[in-house]
């Protein structure tokens, strides 16, 4: 009996020590004060006598090489001197980031600044749930420069329920419109001397590879990439995509930019039948693997190894890929066939593709905005925070950013992944970016149309069930159609339409149209 | 006479053995080959994989994938330590609690056993979902960035309790009763009589718990933020791959030309790093495992 008691006691002691060890390892984050540390005195001046720590939620993997700490130390020295605050980053890693992002926001943990986005980080959904603070009245006072700089129209696009809930990244040029990258050296061999501007010519290029390049698959893609469905629709009709997700392919589009409030679906138009026919034809000719639907290869790496003739992604990717390809496949001089090349159907990106919000449970929203204002508008802090330390992470040669001599990626790499308010005026172009990009941007500028749905927040509650049913149908049928694996194309599209209707296509369309009409009143009424 | 008999026996046994060993050998090969493929791919240069796919023997030998995984040996070793400590402590504590629960729940003189059994079983049918679970751990127990957040949820699993209960049922209730007659307390009975009689079951359940902790990454991902220096091995390896994936696909990758990150061979190398120790450890517990699985069928 005594022995048993002893064993039990020992066991409990072990448990306790372990829990103590584990507990002491946890770090305390966030400031403990419940009242805000930023007061305004009688003259309306901001009083920052109390030092506070501002937390910022960013997406990405925390650099573990110590550079982050070094850079943040310099950033914090400047922040302390200017607004008496310290900035601390909270990282959400890429592994299952969406779940973690939404959980962290739902849990009510106090975070001051949050990187968000309406198109890939569910910003509206989180605004609906009350995760973001209303900063309409705080902005002019605590982030005056930002408030000035962002135009009135842009602020309109950040409002939920008439209140500003985030700060847009509206002065930063980036293009995430998709297309195909192809090798002009091969295209010339096959007699294609003009830049490729439509799918027919792309087909010719693929056929050329098939005929002349042994062992090269024209487009060696995994079957999950169904972006060609977007591409064909954009190239051969004037329809523009609506910000409503229905799984792997958006079913609902607007008629055209001129007729932007009419909800339709390209799937029910002839264009989709033509698309299905072309893809069936391409599949039969062997422009991709026959087991494409289960294939999981890395197209970009194969493209760089010269094993495939095309890669599919957006303009920003192209800007970095071009110089890399010039090294890996000298003379390849890759070019991009963007979907918009066919008939100039190009809509700008939403300015809330990157944004920063203030957490609803922030203890120091005023000081958080002051810190944000500095990151965005103080050139020194901006460069530190985005690029790192001059001489360690970068040097400027002829106005371009290059890596210093002896730079080692593993030891010296730094990133703070600040995608919620970069501005062109402080950006130093990277030497790794292809020089010809400015021409491409200029060409886009001549045809681009402003993004029309910035303030459109779709309330999906009445049609939640139908939307998830539609997502299931697209997941089942779109990949098969996109890679010509669905038998007779006309029959496949008919079947696809039938199943969409069964899943509640019309009910959802009516609901979107109803909300679109409201939205039209809101926009046109202004 | 004797000779022919022996030959007969010989012939039939040889046939049986030939077929038996042949079949088992083939089956073992089916299990072994994928592993050999993983091992050889992890030691192949990325270029060779790109150009000619995976093979059972490295076409171009390269240890580059391992160099990237072990780029920071301190972190790998730290992750190993964390995973091992969590696995050892979690398995010891978890096994003890599961065994106690399982034993108590099948004691016929325990009044509320059916109600409590149902209460435990019920959680396998209905769960609160992810958000309440997250809130419980972070807001009520305040276990964010604390190894306990990974340790506690894995201690008890309804499935294992039900399994233990079934095992203990095979021990006649009379044993407990006669021990009680002799003046033993409940704890004495449990520790001195029941536990020694259920070793195969304990080994099986222990292995399940241990494997669960060893492979655990989801809770670590949710509750252990990058602010912690050492995090469980599986999460560490998962991050190695996702960040490589990201660097590869981001236009911002300066100077790291994407092909310098051997993604395919790296996936294989991480698989080897993650399973290696388990493979070394398994032969030692295998006999208990087999016993444990068969114990329900034959009452020995």
What is the rounded average pLDDT of the residues A333-355? 93
Chain A residue numbers with beta carbons less than 8 Å from the beta carbon of B263 are 298, 301
User: How many angstroms separate the Cα of B16 from the Cα of each of B5, B12, B25?
Assistant: 17, 6, 14
Q: Please give the backbone phi and psi of residue A358, each rounded to the nearest 5 degrees, phi first.
A: -105, 130
Examine the pLDDT at B5 and tell me if it is beyond 70: no
CA neighbor of A95 nearest in space, from B154, B42, B132, B245? B245
What is the rounded average pLDDT of the residues A409-418? 84
Query: Among B228, B256, B258, whose Cβ lies nearest the Cβ of A301?
Result: B258
| Pairwise CA distance, residues B222 & B239, whole Å | 13
CB A201 within 8 A of CB A188: no
State the pLDDT at residue A40. Answer: 65
Examine the pLDDT at A374 and tell me if it is beyond 90: yes
Pairing of strands A113-116, A355-358: antiparallel
Check A22 against B72: CB less than 8 A apart: no
What is the rounded average pLDDT of the residues A39-47? 64
Flag whether residue B72 sits within 8 Å of chain A, measured between CB atoms.
yes
Flag whether residue B258 sits within 8 Å of chain A, measured between CB atoms.
yes
Chain B residue numbers with beta carbons less than 8 Å from the beta carbon of A62 are 226-227
Pairing of strands A52-59, A85-92: parallel
Q: What is the mean pLDDT of chain B?
A: 84
Flag whether residue B257 sits within 8 Å of chain A, measured between CB atoms.
yes
The tokens for B281 are 């450890």
State the pLDDT at residue B297. Answer: 46
Query: Among A62, A107, A321, whose Cβ lies nearest the Cβ of B226?
Result: A62
State the pLDDT at residue B298. Answer: 44
Flag whether residue B37 sits within 8 Å of chain A, measured between CB atoms.
no
Over residues B10-69, the pLDDT tens digits come to: 888 889 989 999 999 999 999 999 989 999 999 998 878 877 778 888 888 888 888 878
Q: Angle CA(B112)–CA(B116)–CA(B122) in degrees, nearest 5?
A: 150
Q: Which residue has the higher pLDDT, B231 or A31?
A: B231
**C-alpha dihedral, A229 to A234 to A239 to A242, nearest 10°:** 60
User: How many angstroms separate the Cα of B135 from the Cα of each of A19, A126, A221, B202, B232?
Assistant: 20, 17, 41, 33, 22
Examine the pLDDT at A19 and tell me if it is beyond 90: no
| Pairwise CA distance, residues A63 & B167, whole Å | 49
Check A403 against B256: CB less than 8 A apart: no
Q: pLDDT category, B295, cuts 50, 70, 90? A: low
Q: Is B132 exposed, middle or buried (0-12, 13-18, 19+ CB in 10 A)?
A: exposed
* Range of lowest pLDDT (A235-244, A297-306, A331-340, A444-453): A297-306
Flag whether residue A42 sits within 8 Å of chain B, measured between CB atoms.
no
Chain A residue numbers with beta carbons less than 8 Å from the beta carbon of B249 are 300, 317
Interface test with B, best of A22, A101, A111 (most B CBs within 10 A): A22
State the pLDDT at residue B256. Answer: 43
What is the rounded average pLDDT of the residues A119-131? 89
State the pLDDT at residue B48. Answer: 83
Contacts 24+ apart (CB under 8 A), B134-141: B134/A103, B134/A106, B134/A107, B134/B222, B135/A106, B135/A107, B135/A108, B137/B222, B137/B223, B138/A107, B138/A109, B138/B223, B139/A107, B139/A108, B139/A109
Flag whether residue B88 sits within 8 Å of chain A, measured between CB atoms.
no
CA neighbor of A52 nearest in space, from A70, A26, A79? A79
CA neighbor of A291 nearest in space, from A481, A489, A485? A485
- Most confidently modeled of A231-235, A518-522, B186-190? A231-235
Nearest-Cα distance to chain A for B204, in Å, is 22
State the pLDDT at residue A249. Answer: 93
Angle between helical axes of A505-525 and A464-482 (0-180°, round to 10) = 110
Dihedral sign (CA A324, A326, A332, A336) = positive
Flag whether residue A91 sits within 8 Å of chain B, measured between CB atoms.
yes
Instruction: Give how far the C-alpha of residue A438 lies from the chain's centroid of Cα atoms, to the nearest Å.
Output: 22
State the pLDDT at residue A29. Answer: 35
Nearest-Cα distance to chain A for B77, in Å, is 15
The tokens for B21 are 């060993």
The tokens for B139 are 């807001």
Ramachandran category for residue A328: left, alpha or beta (phi over 0 → left; psi -120 to 50 → alpha): alpha
Flag whether residue B89 sits within 8 Å of chain A, measured between CB atoms.
yes
User: How many angstroms separate the Cα of B258 from the Cα of each of A181, B251, B253?
Assistant: 16, 10, 8
Q: pLDDT category, A41, cuts 50, 70, 90? A: low
Q: What is the mean pLDDT of chain A?
A: 89
State the pLDDT at residue A392. Answer: 92
| Pairwise CA distance, residues B211 & B207, whole Å | 6
Nearest-Cα distance to chain A for B191, in Å, is 8
Over residues A234-280, the pLDDT tens digits come to: 999 999 999 888 888 999 999 999 999 999 999 999 999 999 999 99
Q: What is the DSSP string of chain B?
A: -HHHHHHHHHHHHHHHHHHHHHHHHHHHHHHHHHHHHHHHHHTB-HHHHHHH---SS-SSB--HHHHHHTSSHHHHHHHHHHHHHHHHHHHHHHHHHHHHHHHHHH-TT-TTHHHHHHHHHHHHH----HHHHHHIIIIIS--TT-THHHHGGGT--HHHHHHHHHHHHTS-HHHHHHHHHTT--HHHIIIIIIHHHTHHHHHHHHHHHHHHHHH--HHHHHH--TTSS---HHHHHHHHHHHHHHHHH-TT--S--GGGS-HHHHHHHHHHHHHHHHHHHHHHHHHHHHHHHHTTTS--
State the pLDDT at residue A64. Answer: 78
- Number of Cβ within a 10 Å radius of residue A154: 17
Instruction: Count Cβ–Cβ pairs < 8 Å, chain A vs chain B.
Output: 130
Examine the pLDDT at A32 and tell me if it is beyond 70: no
What is the rounded average pLDDT of the residues A334-359? 94
**C-alpha dihedral, A38 to A40 to A45 to A46, nearest 10°:** 10
Q: Angle CA(A464)–CA(A465)–CA(A471) in degrees, nearest 5?
A: 90
CA distance from start to end of chain B: 40
| Pairwise CA distance, residues A231 & A272, whole Å | 11
- Taking the CA of residue B165 as centre, how many other CA atoms within 13 Å lie in the half-sphere pointing to its CB? 20
Examine the pLDDT at A1 and tell me if it is beyond 80: no
CA neighbor of A497 nearest in space, from A464, A475, A473? A473
Flag whether residue B25 sits within 8 Å of chain A, measured between CB atoms.
no
Dihedral sign (CA A119, A125, A126, A127) = positive
What is the rounded average pLDDT of the residues A20-25? 42
Ramachandran category for residue A458: left, alpha or beta (phi over 0 → left; psi -120 to 50 → alpha): beta
| Pairwise CA distance, residues A136 & B137, whole Å | 34
Nearest-Cα distance to chain A for B99, in Å, is 15
Chain B residue numbers with beta carbons less than 8 Å from the beta carbon of A64 are 72, 75
Ramachandran category for residue A453: left, alpha or beta (phi over 0 → left; psi -120 to 50 → alpha): alpha
State the pLDDT at residue B127. Answer: 84
| Pairwise CA distance, residues A352 & A253, whole Å | 20
State the pLDDT at residue A245. Answer: 85
Q: Which residue has the higher pLDDT, A492 or A26?
A: A492
**C-alpha dihedral, A102 to A103 to A107 to A111, nearest 10°:** -60
Over residues B221-259, the pLDDT tens digits come to: 999 988 888 899 999 888 888 777 666 555 444 334 444
Chain B residue numbers with beta carbons less than 8 Å from the beta carbon of A316 are 251
Contacts (Cβ under 8 Å, ≥6 apart) of A228: A275, A279, A312, A482
| Pairwise CA distance, residues A242 & A516, whole Å | 10
Q: What is the DSSP string of A180-218?
A: EEEEHHHHHHTT--SPP-SHHHHHHHHHHHHHH-TT-BT
Q: pLDDT category, B265, cuts 50, 70, 90? A: confident
* Range of lowest pLDDT (A30-34, A224-228, A233-237, B36-40): A30-34
Angle between helical axes of A270-285 and A228-236 (0-180°, round to 10) = 130
State the pLDDT at residue A31. Answer: 35
- In 3-state terms, what secondary structure has residue A506? helix
Flag whether residue A430 sits within 8 Å of chain B, measured between CB atoms.
yes
What is the rounded average pLDDT of the residues A189-198? 94
Tell me which chain A residue has its CA closest to the CA of residue B239. A95
Residue percentage of chain B with pLDDT more than 90? 31
Check A298 against B222: CB less than 8 A apart: no
């Amino acid at each position: 009996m005594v022995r048993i008691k002893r064993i039990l006691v020992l066991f409990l002691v072990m448990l306790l020590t372990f829990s103590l060890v584990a507990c002491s390892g946890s770090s305390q984050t966030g400031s403990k004060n419940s009242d805000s540390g930023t007061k305004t005195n009688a003259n309306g001046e901001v009083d920052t006598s109390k030092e506070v720590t501002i937390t910022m939620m960013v997406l990405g993997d925390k650099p573990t090489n110590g550079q982050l700490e070094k850079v943040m130390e310099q950033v914090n020295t400047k922040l302390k001197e200017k607004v008496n605050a310290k900035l601390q980053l909270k990282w959400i890693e890429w592994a299952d980031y969406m779940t973690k992002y939404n959980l962290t926001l739902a849990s009510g943990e106090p975070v001051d600044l949050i990187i968000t986005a309406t198109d890939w980080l569910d910003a509206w959904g989180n605004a609906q749930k009350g995760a973001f603070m209303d900063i309409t009245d705080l902005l002019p006072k605590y982030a005056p420069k930002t408030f000035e700089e962002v135009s009135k129209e842009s602020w309109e696009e950040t409002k939920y329920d008439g209140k500003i809930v985030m700060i847009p990244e509206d002065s930063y040029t980036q293009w995430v419109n998709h297309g195909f990258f192809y090798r002009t050296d091969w295209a010339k061999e096959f007699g294609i001397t003009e830049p490729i501007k439509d799918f027919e010519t792309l087909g010719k290029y693929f056929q050329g590879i098939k005929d002349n390049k042994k062992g090269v698959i024209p487009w060696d893609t995994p079957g999950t990439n169904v972006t060609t469905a977007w591409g064909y629709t954009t190239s051969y009709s004037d329809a523009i995509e609506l910000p409503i997700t229905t799984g792997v392919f958006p079913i609902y589009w607007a008629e055209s930019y001129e007729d932007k409030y009419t909800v339709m679906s390209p799937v029910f138009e002839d264009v989709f039948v033509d698309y299905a026919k072309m893809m069936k034809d391409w599949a039969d000719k062997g422009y991709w693997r026959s087991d494409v639907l289960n294939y999981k290869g890395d197209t970009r790496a194969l493209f760089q190894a010269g094993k495939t003739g095309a890669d599919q992604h957006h303009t920003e990717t192209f800007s970095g890929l071009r110089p890399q390809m010039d090294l890996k496949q000298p003379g390849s001089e890759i070019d991009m066939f963007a979907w918009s090349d066919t008939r100039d159907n190009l809509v700008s990106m939403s300015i809330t593709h990157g944004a920063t919000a203030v957490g609803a449970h922030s203890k120091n929203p005023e000081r958080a905005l002051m810190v944000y204002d500095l990151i965005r508008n103080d050139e020194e802090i901006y460069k530190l925070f985005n690029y790192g330390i001059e001489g360690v992470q970068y040097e400027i040669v002829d106005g371009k950013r290059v890596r210093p001599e002896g730079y080692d990626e593993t030891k010296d790499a730094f990133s703070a992944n600040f995608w919620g308010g970069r501005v062109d005026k402080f950006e130093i172009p990277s030497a790794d970016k292809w020089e010809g990009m400015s021409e491409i941007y200029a060409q886009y500028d001549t045809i681009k149309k402003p993004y029309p749905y910035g303030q459109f927040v779709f309330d999906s509650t009445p049609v939640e069930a139908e939307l998830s049913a539609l997502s299931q149908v697209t997941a089942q049928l779109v990949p098969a159609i996109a890679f010509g694996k669905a038998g007779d194309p006309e029959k496949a599209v008919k079947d696809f339409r039938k199943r969409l209707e069964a899943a509640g296509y019309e009910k959802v369309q009516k609901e979107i149209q109803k909300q679109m009409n409201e939205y039209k009143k809101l926009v046109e009424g202004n | 006479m004797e000779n022919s008999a022996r030959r007969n026996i010989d012939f039939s046994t040889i046939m049986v053995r030939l077929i038996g060993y042949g079949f088992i050998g083939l089956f073992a090969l089916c299990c072994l080959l994928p592993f050999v493929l993983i091992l050889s791919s992890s030691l192949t240069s990325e270029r060779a994989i790109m150009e000619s796919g995976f093979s059972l023997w490295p076409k171009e030998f390269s240890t580059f994938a391992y160099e990237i995984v072990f780029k920071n040996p301190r972190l790998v070793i730290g992750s190993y330590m964390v995973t091992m400590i969590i696995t050892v402590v979690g398995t010891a504590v978890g096994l003890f609690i599961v065994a106690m629960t399982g034993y108590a729940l099948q004691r016929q003189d325990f009044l509320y056993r059916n109600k409590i059994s149902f209460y435990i079983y019920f959680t396998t049918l209905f769960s609160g979902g992810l958000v309440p679970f997250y809130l419980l751990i972070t807001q009520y127990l305040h276990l964010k960035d604390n190894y306990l957040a990974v340790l506690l949820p894995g201690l008890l699993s309804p499935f294992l309790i039900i399994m233990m209960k079934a095992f203990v049922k095979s021990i006649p209730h009379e044993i407990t009763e006669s021990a009680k007659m002799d003046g033993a307390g409940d704890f004495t009975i449990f520790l001195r009589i029941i536990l020694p009689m259920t070793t195969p079951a304990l080994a099986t359940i222990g292995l399940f718990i241990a494997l669960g902790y060893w492979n655990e990454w989801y809770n670590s991902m949710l509750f252990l933020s990058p602010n912690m220096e050492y995090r469980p091995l599986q999460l560490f390896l998962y991050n190695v791959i996702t960040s490589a994936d990201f660097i590869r696909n981001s236009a911002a990758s300066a100077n790291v030309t994407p092909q310098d990150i051997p993604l395919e061979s790296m996936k294989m190398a991480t698989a080897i790093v993650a399973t290696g120790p388990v493979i070394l450890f398994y032969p030692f517990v295998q006999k208990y495992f087999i016993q444990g699985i068969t114990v329900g069928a034959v009452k020995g």
